[in-house]
Structure 1
C-alpha cells in the first residue's frame, strides 16, 4: 500500500521539526521544508525528503508541490506551520513589518493551500492543517500585529472548511498556547525593528521582563505535544475543526467570551501590578 504524503513548512526547529519526525515515525512520506535546506539536513538523514521552501515565494511553492505530485501522484496532507511573531504596540510597528508578518503567517498558508487543493480535489480527499495559536482567538496589548495575522488565518480556515467539505477535504486549526521552542528568540529580534515612539515604555518593560509569550516557562508544552495533535488531525476521518493544545491554550480561548470592557480592565490591572 502506497504511503501517504505530507508537506510541512517551517521544519528547521520546534513544532515543524517535531511534526516531521512524528509523521515519519508513522510511516508517512514526509516532505520537510525550510527556507534554508541546511537547517533540515538532519531530517533528511532520518528519512524525510527535504526541500527549500520560502512560503513568501510563489516559485518555491509551485516547484515543491509539483515535485511531490510528480514523485508520488498525491498530497494527502499540508501542514502550514511556518510563521513568526511581530510584537510591538500598533503605533510603533512600521507598515513594512506588518506586511512581512502577514506575508509569512497569512499569505504563505494561502499560497500553499491554493497550490495543493486542485490535487486534493481530484482525489476527493486530503487534510489541510493550519498551525495557528491561542492568540488567534484573543488579542493582547503589544500583540496586535501577530494576533491579527492569526485571527486572519483562523477566519480563512473557517471559510475553507465549508468550501472544501463537498470534496472530502478537511481543514483544521491547531491552537497552541506557549510552546517550549526558540519562538521568542525571533520575536526579540523582530521587536528590535520597531519605531519606538516613547509612548509605550510600560509594554517594552513587560516584554523584556517576560520575553513575551511562546517560549519555555510555566504552562509551556513541548513541541512534540503539538506535533501529536497535528498528526491526529491528519490521520482522523472526521477531525475536530479546532484543537487548543495545552492547559493555557484551553483557558485562553475561553477569554473571548469575557466582555471587552472587563478584559480591557484586566490588561490595565496587570500593567499597574507590574
Structure 2
C-alpha cells in the first residue's frame, strides 16, 4: 500500500466482510468526493486442497470474501451510481471459474459463483445505466498463492499420494513462463475500464489462448485433459 502514495490517491482500510464498514466507507467517499464512478471488486483469498479435505467453516469464509463481499460492495454503490445514471462495477473472477481443475475446487467454485453473479448483475443494472464488467485473469504474477509455499495435507487425508500434484497445482498458479506481470495486467485492465465502451468480459493474462481453446472442447473431454495434467506422477 505504501507504493500507492500520491496526492490524488486517498486510502481507506475496508473490511469487505462487514456490512457496516462497507456502508461507512461508501458514505465517507460520497461525502468527500460527491460521486463514485467505478467499483473494482478485487478482494479475494485462495484455498487449496481436495474438496473432501476442506472444512465447511473454511468454505464459508472463502465464499464470504470471494463472493458475498462482492455483492455487499456492489449493493452499497448501486444506489449512488443509479442516481448519477452512470458508473462501472468490475468484478474480478478468474478463468478457473470456467475451466475447473482438481486441488483448487473450493477457490474455483467461488470464482464460478462470481461469474454467474456478475452476469445477472449486468442484466439487472441495464435499466439503471450502470455498466458491469467481468474480469477473468489467466496467469498473472500476484502474491495470492504466497501462503501456500509449504502446503501440507491434513492428517488422515485420502489424497496423500497426490500431495506432489497438489503442490504442483498451487505452483502452477504462481509461476509460469507465460505469466503476465501484474503491472502490465493492471495497465491493460484500466485502459479497457476507462474506455468509452468497456467490455462486459475481459480474459487477460498469460496462457489466455490455451484457456480459450479448452472452453471450446466438449466438457467431459476438457475435464479429462485437466485431470491427466494434475494427476500424473511427478518425478
Q: TM-score, normalised by structure 2?
A: 0.90
1:272 pairs with 2:219 = no
1:221 pairs with 2:145 = no
1:82 pairs with 2:21 = no
CA contact (8 A) 1:214 1:220 kept: no
Q: Give per-residue Cα distances to partners, 1:67-108, cap 9 Å, x unaligned.
A: 110011100000001112101111001111111110111011
- The correspondence of residues 53-68 of structure 1 with structure 2, limited to 5 A, is 53-68=14-29
Which residue in the other structure is 2:189 paired with? 230
CA contact (8 A) 2:140 2:206 kept: no
1:187 deviates by: 4.1
**Corresponding residue SS for 2:40:** strand
What is the distance in 2 between the residues matched to 1:93 and 1:186? 16
CA contact (8 A) 2:48 2:170 kept: no
Q: Give per-residue Cα distances to partners, 1:208-247, cap 9 Å, x unaligned.
A: 3464333232111111222123312331232111111124
What is the distance in 1 between the residues matched to 2:142 and 2:223? 29
1:204 pairs with 2:166 = no
**Corresponding residue SS for 1:91:** helix
Which residue in the other structure is 1:241 paired with? 200
- Structure 1 unaligned blocks of 5 or more: 1-39
What is the distance in 1 between the residues matched to 2:25 and 2:162? 41
What is the distance in 2 between the residues matched to 1:106 and 1:44? 29
What is the distance in 1 between the residues matched to 2:212 and 2:160? 28
Q: Measured at CA, do residues 188 and 104 of structure 1 come closer, stay the same or move farther in structure 2, by a change above 3 Å?
A: farther
CA contact (8 A) 1:174 1:229 kept: no
What is the distance in 2 between the residues matched to 1:72 and 1:95? 41
Q: Measured at CA, do residues 217 and 77 of structure 1 come closer, stay the same or move farther in structure 2, by a change above 3 Å?
A: same
CA contact (8 A) 1:180 1:222 kept: yes
1:273 deviates by: 5.0
Which residue in the other structure is 1:171 paired with? 132
Q: Measured at CA, do residues 253 and 136 of structure 1 come closer, stay the same or move farther in structure 2, by a change above 3 Å?
A: farther
Q: Give per-residue Cα distances to partners, 1:109-147, cap 9 Å, x unaligned.
A: 111000000000001100001111111211110111000
1:70 pairs with 2:35 = no
1:42 deviates by: 3.8
Q: TM-score, normalised by structure 1?
A: 0.78
What is the distance in 1 between the residues matched to 2:155 and 2:29? 45
Q: How many pairs were matched up?
A: 233
Q: Out of 122, 125, 128, which is 2:89 matched to?
A: 128
Which residue in the other structure is 2:102 paired with? 141
**Corresponding residue SS for 2:124:** helix
Which residue in the other structure is 1:22 paired with? none
1:196 deviates by: 4.7
Q: Give per-residue Cα distances to partners, 1:152-184, cap 9 Å, x unaligned.
A: 001000001111112221111111112112221
1:44 pairs with 2:5 = yes
- Structure 2 unaligned blocks of 5 or more: none
Q: Measured at CA, do residues 196 and 160 of structure 1 come closer, stay the same or move farther in structure 2, by a change above 3 Å?
A: farther
